[in-house]
Amino acid sequence: MAEQRWETPQPLGLVAVRQEVLTAIAARAMAGVEGVRPLRGGGGIIGILAGSDEGVQISIRGNVADVELRIAVVLGYSVHRVAQAVQRRVREDLEGLVGIAVGRVDVYVRHVIPPEEVLMLEERGEDAEG
Amino acid sequence: MPRDEELIGDNPEEGKISISRDVIATIAGLAATDVAGVAPPKGGTMPRGEAVRRLVEVEIAEGRVKLALKVGVLYGHAVQAVAQELQTRVKTEVEKMTALPVDEVDVEVVRVVFPEEGRRKERIA
């Protein structure tokens, strides 16, 4: 059974990190990779900035986090390379910024988006934000 | 019934000294907000002054203190390192100021705060 928190007993007491923390850091790592769009209900960049992380699922088993990511790749980018970059970045950031060991990082490429559509989404995102 | 005060000195000639749970929470909270990378656990700004005690739960039993903190961490700071630094600082500060032994400082990191969160809030305000 997966846990909601990553718990590590320290000499001075328990340190617990909630799953949301891992999810937010993974989502941010993924969003930093060129050519990728995380998938979520709302669409566009709005979701990223609002901290919506539907495309990211993390299961914590003891001291290991397994990650599942659902992404869209922008047309023209190598799907394989983008997916690998996402795997690497997410692993690095979870290990580096949170300190948890990362097991699997499974990436599901569910869509490709034409570049025009990305531009549209980004414009809409800025409007909604301002 | 939970005790709200802890006796830290009782001298028949000079009188008693007792310290309230809220005072311990405030001391712990102030030490916590001093640690780099610590962010408010809910939205908004970091509590200041006595309001910092809301970050801390205090348990006192037989003159020994147990603390539990809920915090956010600023994006870019190493979460585990911030949490452990919190434990050290809070324990040291509370022990220094109250002379009560702190047995445990549990820390729960409830969220990560991205830099743009502050900017967006300012624009709305």
Domain boundaries of chain B, sorted by first residue: 5-124
pTM for this model (two decimals) = 0.81
Q: What residues of chain B lie within 8 A of the CB of A25, using their CB?
A: 75, 112
Q: What residues of chain A lie within 8 A of the CB of B119, using their CB?
A: none
DSSP A3: B
Fold of B5-124: Alpha-Beta Plaits (3.30.70)
What is the Cβ-side half-sphere exposure of residue A24, based on CA atoms within 13 angstroms? Answer: 24
pLDDT band at B17 (very low <50, low <70, confident <90, very high): confident
Put simply, the answer to whether A12 touches B109 (Cβ < 8 Å) is no
Query: What would the pLDDT profile of A52-89 be if each residue is shown by its tens digit?
Result: 456 899 999 999 999 999 888 999 999 999 999 999 99
Put simply, the answer to whether A12 touches B84 (Cβ < 8 Å) is yes
Q: How far apart are CA A46 and CA B65, in angstroms?
A: 45
**Domain A5-125 CATH superfamily:** Cation efflux protein, cytoplasmic domain (3.30.70.1350)
What pLDDT shows up at residue A51?
Answer: 41
